[in-house]
Amino acid sequence: MGFRLEGIFPAALLPLLLTMILFLGPLMQLSMDCPCDLADGLKVVLAPRSWARCLTDMRWLRNQVIAPLTEELVFRACMLPMLAPCTGLGPAVFTCPLFFGVAHFHHIFEQLRFRQSSVGSIILSAAFQFSYTAVFGAYTAFLFIRTGHLIGPVLCHSFCNYMGFPAVCAALEHPQRRPLLAGYALGVGLFLLLLKPLTDPKLYGSLPLCVLLERAGDSEVPLCS
């Protein structure tokens, strides 16, 4: 589920655009701290040599391709359609990300094995990571349900893996913190304003998961309209 051609172009572009709007502040911060200008940056991004280097980097492939694709396939395309008929769509959206968050607990064992920090710090870090990965999982579940496509969640997942968690503390101490914090606030505000319009199911054609729930007898599915 989630693999179809109908509405695939808006499903690839609009959720990614929405996520980039949310990251307006971090993107401004990245631009301010980057030593090269926009033209040089675009040359690097579009250069075939840069992409060839990325495609031979196992860590890049894991973070930007393999992890987003496999995790969204398992936790969104496979798990959500199984949970939704049993629990209802709303509970499934918030239950499924809990499994997604727990799946990242393996980092605890890596850190404990290599003694990278104290046990308390490692557990606190794991709890924080669980929290934001669960929230992100709920967001991509929302995207999957509203668009009926897997490509949007996969691209958003890859983008967020690249950006990392927003460096809010660094923004507070930045020399240009006022415009930067304004960018953070504007990004969040625009994201909340555009969340439903840019994920309107009418933009993406028929929604397989919603059709499945209707056949199961659930005629009132708010997220599908």
Q: What residue type is 104 in one-letter code?
A: H
- Taking alpha carbons only, the member of 78, 60, 79 closest to residue 161 is 60
Q: What is the DSSP letter of 118?
A: -
104 is catalytic: yes
107 is catalytic: no
Q: Residue 196: how many CA atoms within 13 Å on its side-chain side?
A: 5
What tokens does 89 get? 């769509």
Q: What residue type is 16 in one-letter code?
A: L
What tokens does 95 get? 């239950």
Under 8 Å CB-to-CB from 156, ≥6 apart: which residues? 15, 16, 19, 139, 140, 143
Torsion of CA 186, 188, 193, 199, to 10 degrees: 130
Angstrom distance (rounded) from CA 5 to CA 204: 10
Query: Active site residue: 6, 104, 106, 220, which one?
Result: 104
Q: For the chain, percent helix, then strand, then coil, each to nearest 5?
A: 80, 0, 20
Query: Active site residue: 71, 72, 149, 157, which one?
Result: 71
The values of phi and psi at residue 157, to 5°, are: -65, -45
Residues recognised as catalytic = 71, 104
